Structure 1
Amino acid sequence: MLVNLVPSASAAIDFATASLARPRPEKKPAPVAPDVIDPVARTQISLEYASLQYKDHCPLGMYVVPSPETLMVWDAVFFVHQGYYADAIFKFRLTFPNNYPEAPPVVQFMTDVVFHPLISHTGIFNLAPRFRPWRPKEHRVFDVLHWIKTAFKKHALDEIKESDCLNKEAYRYHESTSSFAGLASQSSLLSQSAPALFDRDHPSMKGKPRDAMPFRELPPEQLQLQRKKIGLQECAEDKEHP
């Protein structure tokens, strides 16, 4: 659900085209073809996507759209506002199983690489600390989205157990917060880089669902026009480097 979007100084989201922002070398969960989607799952997923319009259902700074190929895949982008990962722009994908809501969606970060205890080197995000077990009559997608956002906050990082970590190196946060802060900040900076935001049409994505939320870099004159339309003022750095 698209709310409160403020583009960065050099980027905009292009919803008219589709490609994958950051390819992953490993095989992703295969999307289910539309003609074999269970009717119950299709109805439930449709209702839950529609519910994201309600207040507080979609977390602030997070934007979600279904894949052009199938309702069983949602693409999302998360703008981190504060904390260790402040100013990060993380893209992730939710892939729903055909028996949803009996089983949870798979969450995989597409931004390469997110340094976080709950995110593996292939981008898989561990839902277990929040959903142990997953309760189909109680848990919903908006709960998953809120857990993803919460997992990047200090109080959640403090409570993560080593047994839940998919990235053991990142768990060393508990030993040295200063080192962790530096690596998290580096992850944030990399997520804002042009290769992370604008890498498109990679051969490894052949046959995979298109990214429903691609970024495209705007020429300076178009960027200035868009900034004016949404009321953003020109900063001092922009004036020094036109």
Structure 2
Amino acid sequence: MEEARAFKYVNPSLPRPMTTPAPSQKKPEAANLTSLHQYRTQTMKDYGLMIEYKHMKQHVPSGIYVLPSFDKPRLWHGVIFIHQGLYRNGIFKFSIHLPDDYNGIGTYPRVEFYTKVFHPFVNPDTNELDLLPKFPTWDPDLHYIVSVLVYMKSIFYTKEFASDLRNVANPRALEMFRRHPESYVEQIDACVEKSLETMYQNEPGSSLRFTKPIPAHEKLRQEFLQQLGGQDTAGNDSASEDVHMTAPISVMGLDDEFKQVDEEDEDGESSS
């Protein structure tokens, strides 16, 4: 005799109970929305960075050249030529590392020189420029990369340090400046010499390339300038170099700061 099979009768007129998707079914959709939001946020930050770079040329201090890396938009390469003061004739190459959340509150750029820069505001171990003396806090409404470049140039023309200055990146340099100025100058001369020795050593991945001048190219350049009726002013540079100039930023409220640095630069020239 066959065993009776139990069954449950379901009245088709009654509404069926709603089923709730398992938690695992919700996660992919939520994760996709989060990823999309993060992507859009990062895209807007990257776009803002491009705009900042595009408009930077009008305000970059003289003697400084900057170019983003070809494959890493948040890694910039630069060089500064010093014509006057204690660091005269120095050619210091550097990199600028921008955090992913730049430009937000507290998102400091990181500036590192490729060779030693003997200065109280430069870390002797990492060659990193200390931004805190100029920017105790980083305010995205007031501070930009060009602000850092202005500050960076100013340190090479600094003639005095505050008597109450204590916490610096290189305490030895500050102590030597105050107590042994002759030794301080010797250390600076050494780092300037080193910068010149390594001028044609291009860092891997750098978007700025330095090549030794070729006499044939110089002759062609002189002929070209004569045809244009222009005046050759390139001879004022410490060295001839193959450098791409940055494309540029109009930043409101910074003109006074740039003017002050230019005046300090002129004072350094007149006193040298």
TM-score, normalised via structure 2 length:
0.62
Q: State the secondary structure of the residue aligned to 2:189.
A: helix
The one-letter code sitting in structure 2 at the alignment partner of 1:96 is L
Q: Is the 8 A contact 1:37 1:98 kept in 2?
A: no
Q: Which runs of 5+ in 1 are unaligned?
A: 1-34, 236-242
How many angstroms apart in 1 are the aligned matches of 2:92 and 2:126? Answer: 14
Counterpart Cα distance in 1 of 2:137 and 2:102: 15
Aligned partner (choices 194, 212, 222) of residue 217 of structure 2: 222
In 2, Cα distance between equivalents of 1:136 and 1:234: 39
- Aligned counterparts of 1:211 and 1:37: Cα–Cα separation in 2: 28
Please, what is the CA RMSD of the aligned residues?
A: 2.6
Aligned to 1:101: 103
Identical aligned pairs, as a percentage?
Answer: 25
Q: Which has the higher helix share?
A: 2
CA shift, 1:38, in A, is: 1.4
Q: What displacement does 1:219 show?
A: 3.5
Q: 2:208 — aligned with what?
A: 213
Give the total of aligned pairs.
187
Contact 1:80 1:86 in 2 (8 A): yes
Structure-1 separation of matches of 2:55 and 2:235: 36
Q: Relative to 1, partners in 2 of residues 1:36 and 1:162: Cα closer, same or farther, differing over 3 Å?
A: farther
Given the alignment, which residue of 51, 60, 65 partners 1:58? 60
Aligned residue among 63, 78, 90 for 1:76: 78
Quick one: which of 180, 186, 194 aligns to 2:184? Answer: 180
CA contact (8 A) 1:58 1:142 kept: yes
1:40 is the counterpart of 2:26: no
Residue 170 (structure 1) shift:
1.4
Q: Deviations over 1:68-97 (max 9, x none)?
A: 112111111000121110110000111100
Matched, 1:125 2:120: no
Higher relative contact order at CA 8 Å, sep ≥6: structure 1 or structure 2?
A: 1
Hey, what's the Cα distance between the residues in 2 that align with 1:47 and 1:177? Answer: 44
What amino acid does structure 1 have at the position aligned with 2:127?
G
Amino acid at match of 2:208: M
What corresponds to 1:3 in structure 2?
Answer: none
Deviant stretches of 4+, over 4 Å: 223-230, 232-235
Where does structure 2 lack aligned partners over 5 or more consecutive residues? 1-38, 226-231, 237-272
TM-score by length of 1: 0.69
Name the larger-Rg structure.
2
